[in-house]
Structure 1
Amino acid sequence: MPLLVSAKTLLLIDDFMSAVNYCIYDYLFDMQDPRTKHLPLIDYGLGIPILFLTSYFMLVKVFIPQYMEKRKPFNLRWILLIYNAGMSFGNLFAFITCLEYMDYGRVIFDVDYPTDKSSNEESRVMIILGFCYLISKLLDWFDSIFFCLRKKDSHLTLLHMYHHMVVPLFGWLIIKIAPFIPGLRLFSLMNSFIHFLMYGYYFLSAFGPRVKRYLWWKRYITQMQLAQFIILGIYGFIFLFFQRGYPVFWLYVAFPQPIFFFYMFYDFYVRTYVYNQSYTNNNDINVNNVKKID
């Protein structure tokens, strides 16, 4: 009897490992869009993005903090100016490009899983542009690296890390399997515009106190991010019921993401702009009362 149980257990383990291997390797090649095979980093199994994500996490959470432990923060002003300016204009280009390929918004109402594998000039250009946008999400990681080198590790919150790890992973999967999903264009359109403003803000803030007083509009960028996830959440909810042919597993993995992001960004907004503002106002009242008593 024990041998029989052991044999069944081993069989279940073998089936489980076979299923895992299929999901992370064979499935991705069976479903891969043939037009993306020539792209760097794409014609591989899930091990490549996992390797990149693990390296990023270890770099900003372990290696750089250990290296900086007994060192003074680096002055990266000029590097930040160049980096933020480049990322801002890069996202502006992505936004304009998304507008060009949105077909006046009609593409987001296409609920059929894209099965057309024909290769023409337009499809090849769109795939290359999508791949470039994926690379821009990897370039976002320098934002974390600069925080570490300036000893601002407190900025590497759960929201920051989750955002910088999940978006590239989903981007890699989409480019590999279905680069013409309509929701990708909607996300890229809104996300690129918000990042254009965000990196523009970072660029201006790198000039220091002289410009700081003119940057009162930072909170509105976060409000736009919240609005983005509300729109994506509503779109995803409607799309979930009307879609035809999409893999169910990926739908249920992708659908909750706007909800997760909204919750984390809302928590960040409340802690940064509501609680801090209340604390500042209370301090002002206390200071005024002290002055009156004096």
Structure 2
Amino acid sequence: MFSKVLAVFNRPPADSVAKNFPFLGSAWPVTILLLLYMLFVLNYGKKFMEHRQPYEIKKIVIVYNFFQVIYNGVMFGIMFYYFFIDRVYPLDCLATLPMDDPKKNIERVISYIYFINKIIDLLDTIFFVLRKSYKQITFLHVYHHAFMVFAIYWVVRFNGFGGQFFTMALANTFVHIVMYFYYMISAIYTGIKRSLWWKKYITKIQIIQFVSVSLHSVYILVFNPKCEFPVALHFLILAQCVIFITMFSNFYMKTYVKPQHQKQQ
């Protein structure tokens, strides 16, 4: 059994070029990174902070959020261009480009910088621990961050770069532009955090993101069943969208709807 697991971990990537990218040549770096992340944010980080005051890292957080706004903004602009203007993929079938396609390297680079951004996203939770903001370390938060890194790695390993997942990446980068801009403003102007009326709409946008991505996969499955993008991966997208829609909707109800309802009683 263990030998079979090792065989999967050492399996050559679907795209041989992937082995040249850091974190994509083997499953071990990503697996170890996520294990360390989980151990720190769920256990050892809290023990480390137990007898310490929250670290004053406001300036670091502001710079980090500004960096994320720029990073996601650049990614969104690039993907929007290749998605809707250059039309690298037909919208009714986003199959991974052939190895000899002249734009294959563009697909690889876009996919990789998005993957690296998901690793950078893990710093969100590290900052929560160092500031002792434990209430923000929810199951939804940790699952979402860890899953994105893990899933992207294995999709690239077994299917290659790009394809249908660009739909998710495009929507996700837009959401993150809005989200990190909110975090940046609320970190700079701490006193107005509660008055930023559009905070709840970030969660709504996140829900809309997963609904739109799932509908796109359903559209392709129904109206273009001959599309070469693997059906199993369409169902993976749909399953995760359902999970995220459920969790984000539950978060929205608990955070915004129920408190408002209780105030009115």
Tell me how far apart the structure 2 counterparts of residues 281 and 74 of structure 1 sit (CA, whole Å): 38
Tell me how far apart the structure 1 counterparts of residues 88 and 14 of structure 2 sit (CA, whole Å): 25
Tell me how far apart the structure 2 counterparts of residues 191 and 173 of structure 1 sit (CA, whole Å): 19
Distance 1:130-1:37 versus aligned 2 partners, 3 A rule: same
1:259 aligns with 2:222: no
1:280 aligns with 2:263: yes
8 Å contact from structure 2 (residues 72, 177) kept in 1: yes
- Aligned residue for 2:20, secondary structure, equals coil
1:173 aligns with 2:154: yes
Which aligned runs of 4 or more in structure 1 are off by greater than 6 angstroms?
none
8 Å contact from structure 2 (residues 207, 248) kept in 1: yes
8 Å contact from structure 2 (residues 214, 237) kept in 1: no
- Aligned residue for 1:109, secondary structure, equals coil
Identity %: 27
8 Å contact from structure 1 (residues 113, 243) kept in 2: no
- Aligned residue for 2:188, secondary structure, equals coil
Aligned position for 1:136? 117
Tell me how far apart the structure 2 counterparts of residues 174 and 268 of structure 1 sit (CA, whole Å): 28
1:215 aligns with 2:207: no
**2:18 aligned to 21, 36, 41, which one?**
36
- Aligned residue for 1:117, secondary structure, equals coil
Tell me how far apart the structure 1 counterparts of residues 119 and 7 of structure 2 sit (CA, whole Å): 26
8 Å contact from structure 2 (residues 111, 161) kept in 1: yes
Aligned position for 2:182? 201
Distance 1:280-1:149 versus aligned 2 partners, 3 A rule: farther
Aligned position for 1:25? 10
TM-score (norm 1): 0.80
Q: Which amino acid aligns with 1:78?
A: K
Q: Deviations over 1:188-243 (max 9, x none)?
A: 11100110000000000012444335511011111111111111121222334525
Query: What is the correspondence of 1:44-55 to structure 2 with a 5 Å cutoff?
Result: 44=26, 46-55=27-36
Distance 1:112-1:212 versus aligned 2 partners, 3 A rule: closer
1:118 aligns with 2:100: yes
- Aligned residue for 1:101, secondary structure, equals helix
- Using the TM superposition, name which of 57-66 and 249-258 deviates more: 249-258
Q: Which amino acid aligns with 1:74?
A: Y
8 Å contact from structure 1 (residues 35, 119) kept in 2: no
Q: Which amino acid aligns with 1:263?
A: T
Per the TM alignment, residue 62 of structure 1 is displaced from its structure 2 partner at its CA by 1.4
8 Å contact from structure 1 (residues 84, 200) kept in 2: yes
1:160 aligns with 2:141: yes
Aligned position for 1:236? 217
8 Å contact from structure 1 (residues 35, 124) kept in 2: no
- Aligned residue for 1:257, secondary structure, equals helix
Aligned position for 1:12? none
TM-score (norm 2): 0.89
